[in-house]
Amino acid sequence: MNPIIILVHPQLVENIGMTARAMANCALPELRIVSPRDPWPLGDIHRQRMMAASSGADDILENAKHYDTVKDAIADLNYVYATTARGNDMVNRIMTPRAAVPDMIERTSDGQKVGVLFGPERMGLINDYVALANAKITIPLNPDFMSLNLAQTVLLIGYEWYQANDATPENRIRIGKSRPALREEYQKFFDRFEDELDKAGFFVADDMRPTITRNLQSTLGRAEMTEQEIRSWHGVLSALVDGPKRKKKS
Amino acid sequence: MNPIIILVHPQLVENIGMTARAMANCALPELRIVSPRDPWPLGDIHRQRMMAASSGADDILENAKHYDTVKDAIADLNYVYATTARGNDMVNRIMTPRAAVPDMIERTSDGQKVGVLFGPERMGLINDYVALANAKITIPLNPDFMSLNLAQTVLLIGYEWYQANDATPENRIRIGKSRPALREEYQKFFDRFEDELDKAGFFVADDMRPTITRNLQSTLGRAEMTEQEIRSWHGVLSALVDGPKRKKKS
């Protein structure tokens, strides 16, 4: 069960479309709209402008539900978060998006229906609506320049939701069609490398050999090469050693 | 030291402006631009369109540096990340934004200059440019609907950067001008509450009293009230107990 995105009095149909686009990026399917400026259902022209702004997130918009009041839009929910940038004097539980998401996950896995309220462009949510929610979500960003548009705010909440539910490895080497080289393949290449350097008279001072060897080996090790790349480097070594001679042979 | 945002061949001046706006939200000051479609420095009309789209992030745009090639734009950097959504067959270190940011922090605290490459709208970075970077950043989002615009991609990286450097408490009760109530204030209110319920004949079965009392106490405790709120609830209790009688007095 995903959190439900609830737009309160959105002013521009383009922003409803862009919100749907942001939601689709984050695999959030359910949108509710409370009394937008342009009466719902939209006329053809407004509808077209909304659809164009959604870049193909049509399903979300087709299935969006309209409500007359915030109270109606949240009536069947167990827990409601209100997004807001502004400080006010109300006593509130305030969470960052990063803390709100585990809270959402815990509730939804428990069978609860949760929703997130987003206020109109520029204005944000009025206090009366914030008071209807259980908690507030405030995105920590540069206090000297807070200028997120509606769809960006939805995107950041949706992004956090998606990350928490996603298992993409955080840091990995992508190896394409090859496979990570075996230590044996590294070692064979390196033995040959060292041998050729020896023949070429690279090791002028014998006492430096262990250090230099270790450093060269370490460079290649850090690169985490694939089997394919080891073969390429064998070719590189052959070319450098044989030089133009090799070309003449062919 | 902040990571430097590098836009490679951006197509629309509006997107340069919106990128600056996203950067300002995340307190990222340094922008580099590699051969945009419209020749740099921009003519008056293009410049105005860019500035309008930046919603006031003028400083970033005034200070943006222009380069002819990606190689020139990254020459003075120690480590470069390439953002890309597409898979390819290149062997790459791939990080999520969440993993890339601690990596950036470690490098920048170490005095390294780091930059993040963003490709042109729609196209993304070509492999030749990805190969110039040390690592790739790919944002895990809905694989069935990947449609982030340039400024949104910059926003998500910048958002992660800002979060990692921000100390906002993740989950707290904001108390406005009051202060969290003391246990003594809770207890005094609750004793009075229980007393009034008693007088009103609320506790019909004496053996249920401990459970009911505990539950009522727990409800109020979970609300984490302020001193001000405790006083309001004293007023609520008085009004309910005295009823219309009280009004008549005044």
Residue B73, beta-bridge partner list: none
* pLDDT at residue B209 tops 80: yes
Return all residues near A231 (Cβ < 8 A) that are at least 6 apart. none
| Disruptive mutation site among A54, A55, A91, A104 for chain B (greatest number of B CBs within 10 Å) | A91
Task: Compute the nearest-CA separation of A17 from chain B (Å).
Answer: 13
Is residue B206 less than 8 Å (CB to CB) from chain A?
Answer: no
- pLDDT tier, B86 (very low <50, low <70, confident <90, very high otherwise): low
Average pLDDT over residues A196-201: 92
Task: Compute the nearest-CA separation of B139 from chain A (Å).
Answer: 9
pLDDT recorded at residue A177 = 81
| DSSP 8-state secondary structure symbol assigned to residue B26 | T
What is the Cβ-side half-sphere exposure of residue A20, based on CA atoms within 13 angstroms?
Answer: 25
Average pLDDT over residues A48-77: 97
> What is the sign, positive or negative, of the torsion defined by CA atoms of B71, B74, B80, B84?
negative
* pLDDT at residue B250 tops 50: no
- pLDDT tier, A37 (very low <50, low <70, confident <90, very high otherwise): very high
CATH number given to B4-164: 3.40.1280.10
21-50 of B, contacting A, C-beta below 8 A: 21-22, 24-27
Put simply, the answer to whether B145 touches A24 (Cβ < 8 Å) is yes
Put simply, the answer to whether B173 touches A91 (Cβ < 8 Å) is yes
| Cα–Cα distance, A104 to A116 (Å, whole number) | 10
pLDDT recorded at residue A20 = 98
Q: Is B21:B57 a contact under the CB 8 Å cutoff? A: yes
64-123 of A, contacting B, C-beta below 8 A: 87-96, 98-100, 103
| DSSP 8-state secondary structure symbol assigned to residue B234 | H
Vertex B157: Cα angle to B123 and B43 (nearest 5): 55
Written as six digits, the tokens of A236 are 């590189």
Is residue A143 less than 8 Å (CB to CB) from chain B?
Answer: no
Euclidean distance between the first and the last CA atom of chain A, given in angstroms as a whole number: 66
What does the domain layout of chain B look like in residue ranges? 4-164, 183-249
Query: Which residues in chain B have their CB less than 8 angstroms from residue A154's CB?
Result: none
Query: Which residues in chain A have their CB less than 8 angstroms from residue B156's CB?
Result: 155-156, 159
Task: Compute the nearest-CA separation of A161 from chain B (Å).
Answer: 10
* Amino acid symbol at A161: W
Region label for A40, one of left (φ > 0), alpha (ψ between -120 and 50) or beta (otherwise): beta
pLDDT recorded at residue A88 = 64
Structure-model confidence comparison of residues B177 and A214, the more confident one: A214
ipTM of the complex: 0.88
| Cα–Cα distance, B19 to B30 (Å, whole number) | 11
Is residue B180 less than 8 Å (CB to CB) from chain A?
Answer: no
| Cα–Cα distance, B52 to B166 (Å, whole number) | 29
Burial bucket for residue A154 (CB in 10 Å: 0-12, 13-18, 19+) = buried
Put simply, the answer to whether B24 touches A156 (Cβ < 8 Å) is no
What is the pTM (predicted TM-score) of this model? Answer: 0.89
Please write the tens of the pLDDT for every residue from A109-168.
999 999 999 999 988 999 899 999 999 999 999 999 989 999 999 999 999 999 999 988
pLDDT recorded at residue A171 = 87
Query: Which residues in chain A have their CB less than 8 angstroms from residue B87's CB?
Result: 174
| Cα–Cα distance, A105 to A116 (Å, whole number) | 13
Among B59-73, B161-175, B194-208, B221-235, name the most confident range.
B59-73
pLDDT recorded at residue B220 = 87
* pLDDT at residue B3 tops 60: yes
* pLDDT at residue B28 tops 90: yes
pLDDT recorded at residue A224 = 85
pLDDT recorded at residue A86 = 65
Put simply, the answer to whether A94 touches B171 (Cβ < 8 Å) is yes
How far is residue B86 CA from its own chain's centroid?
Answer: 26
Q: Is B216:B193 a contact under the CB 8 Å cutoff? A: yes
Edge to edge, what strands does the sheet with B171-174 contain? A65-67, A31-34, A4-8, A114-118, A79-83, A135-137, A92-95, B171-174
Q: Which of A10, A76, A84, A3 is nearest to A42 (CA)?
A: A10
Put simply, the answer to whether B162 touches A147 (Cβ < 8 Å) is no
* Amino acid symbol at A177: K
> What is the sign, positive or negative, of the torsion defined by CA atoms of A81, A87, A88, A89?
positive
* pLDDT at residue A250 tops 50: no
Identify how many contiguous H helices and E strands chain A contains and give both numbers: 11, 8
pLDDT recorded at residue A87 = 65
Task: Compute the nearest-CA separation of B11 from chain A (Å).
Answer: 18
How many CB atoms within 10 Å of residue B134? 16
Is residue B143 less than 8 Å (CB to CB) from chain A?
Answer: no
Task: Calculate the average pLDDT of chain B.
Answer: 92
Please write the tens of the pLDDT for every residue from B149-201.
999 999 999 999 999 999 888 888 877 788 889 999 999 999 999 999 999 99
Q: Is B80:B74 a contact under the CB 8 Å cutoff? A: yes
| Cα–Cα distance, A63 to A58 (Å, whole number) | 9
| DSSP 8-state secondary structure symbol assigned to residue A226 | B
Task: Compute the nearest-CA separation of A6 from chain B (Å).
Answer: 20
